């Protein structure tokens, strides 16, 4: 087991519990039930769009996967495909139906929607590393996909690059990992120490070096943590105010009280709001 997987095991205290094969089967059945339920509800939404003849861009996307007993692991917190891979389906006017095997990223969603809507990214998020997937649907390659993780169970930033069939994983605390997902989809064989793959390893390592300064990344994370601890302690003194975003809602402006135009009131209850 690689060092980061061991850290996840310890952070989640999985070693103290016995997880039987039957528990794994039950968890996976429950997960499949969730998928079936979501599929049914999405069908209802699509049926309404079809019945009302609305033209729409439909995107189905998840923010992460889940380990369901694979490698003895649960939840996420790693770059193995069961955790990092997500479904992505896009239906839009002008897009040809088909399947794309090129690895892409969730950061590509905003540029893709802007492209489909004819909106320039320059005024939306010019700093993004994401790219429009419209050309990818037409057969273009997306290019190497970067990934970052600096949260639970990590003692230093973890980064990864997915480039076609290859996945390269790097952490300053751990040995490098290199997987050939075409030949080894379960990611059981780390090829980083295989001389036969030294050239691929060097190429992906160079891409990572060009993109990340891991020592600076680590320092920035710890500085951010220190700042947030100060704010956290301050907020815990006196009247506690939660971190959650809480939009201001004035009840007097949400209901008709003979003080506003009815058309204005009804427009304010719609989403998206009219111009």
Q: Express each pLDDT in 83-127 by its tens digit.
A: 999 999 999 988 888 899 899 999 999 999 999 999 998 888 888
Q: Express each pLDDT in 201-217 by its tens digit.
A: 999 999 999 999 999 99
CA 209 to chain centre: 23
Please report, rounded to a whole number, the percentage of residues in the chain having pLDDT higher than 70. Answer: 92
DSSP-based three-state secondary structure for 166: strand
Q: Express each pLDDT in 111-122 by its tens digit.
A: 999 999 999 988
Element (H, E) at 49: helix 21-51
Contacts of 47 (CB under 8 A, 6+ apart): none
**Contact yes or no for 176/205 (Cβ under 8 A):** yes
Q: Please name every residue paired with 160 in a beta bridge, in sequence order, or none if there are none.
A: 147, 169
**Contact yes or no for 160/147 (Cβ under 8 A):** yes
Please report, rounded to a whole number, the percentage of residues in the chain having pLDDT higher than 90. Answer: 59
Q: Please, what are the domains in the chain?
A: 3-268 (3.40.720.10)
**Contact yes or no for 148/155 (Cβ under 8 A):** no
pLDDT for 274 beyond 70: no
Higher pLDDT, 178 or 49: 178
Residue with token string 């506690």: 240
pLDDT for 231 beyond 70: yes
Q: Express each pLDDT in 4-31 by its tens digit.
A: 888 888 888 877 888 899 999 999 999 9
């Amino acid at each position: 087991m690689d060092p980061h997987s061991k850290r996840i095991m310890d952070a989640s205290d999985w070693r103290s519990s016995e997880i039987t094969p039957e528990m794994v089967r039950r968890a996976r059945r429950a997960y499949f039930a969730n998928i079936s339920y979501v599929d049914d509800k999405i069908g209802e939404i699509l049926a309404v769009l079809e019945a009302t003849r609305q033209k729409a861009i439909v995107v189905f996307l998840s923010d992460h996967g889940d380990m369901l007993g694979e490698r003895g692991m649960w939840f996420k917190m790693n770059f193995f495909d069961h955790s990092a891979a997500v479904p992505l389906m896009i239906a839009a006017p002008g897009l040809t139906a088909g399947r794309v095997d090129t690895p892409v990223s969730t950061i590509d969603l905003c540029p893709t929607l802007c492209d489909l809507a004819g909106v320039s990214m320059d005024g939306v998020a010019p700093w993004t590393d994401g790219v429009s997937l419209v050309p990818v649907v037409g057969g273009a390659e997306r290019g190497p996909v970067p990934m970052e993780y600096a949260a639970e169970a990590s003692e230093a930033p973890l980064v990864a690059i997915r480039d076609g069939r290859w996945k390269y994983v790097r952490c300053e605390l751990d040995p490098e990992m290199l997987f050939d997902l075409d030949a080894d989809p379960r990611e059981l064989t780390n090829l980083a120490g295989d001389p036969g793959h030294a050239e691929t390893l060097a190429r992906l390592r160079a891409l990572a070096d060009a993109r990340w300064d891991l020592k600076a990344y680590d320092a920035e994370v710890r500085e951010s943590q220190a700042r947030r601890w100060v704010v956290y302690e301050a907020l815990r003194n006196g009247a506690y105010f939660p971190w959650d975003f809480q939009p201001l809602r004035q009840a007097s402006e949400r209901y008709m009280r003979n003080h506003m135009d009815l058309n204005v009131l009804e427009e304010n209850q719609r989403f998206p709001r009219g111009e």
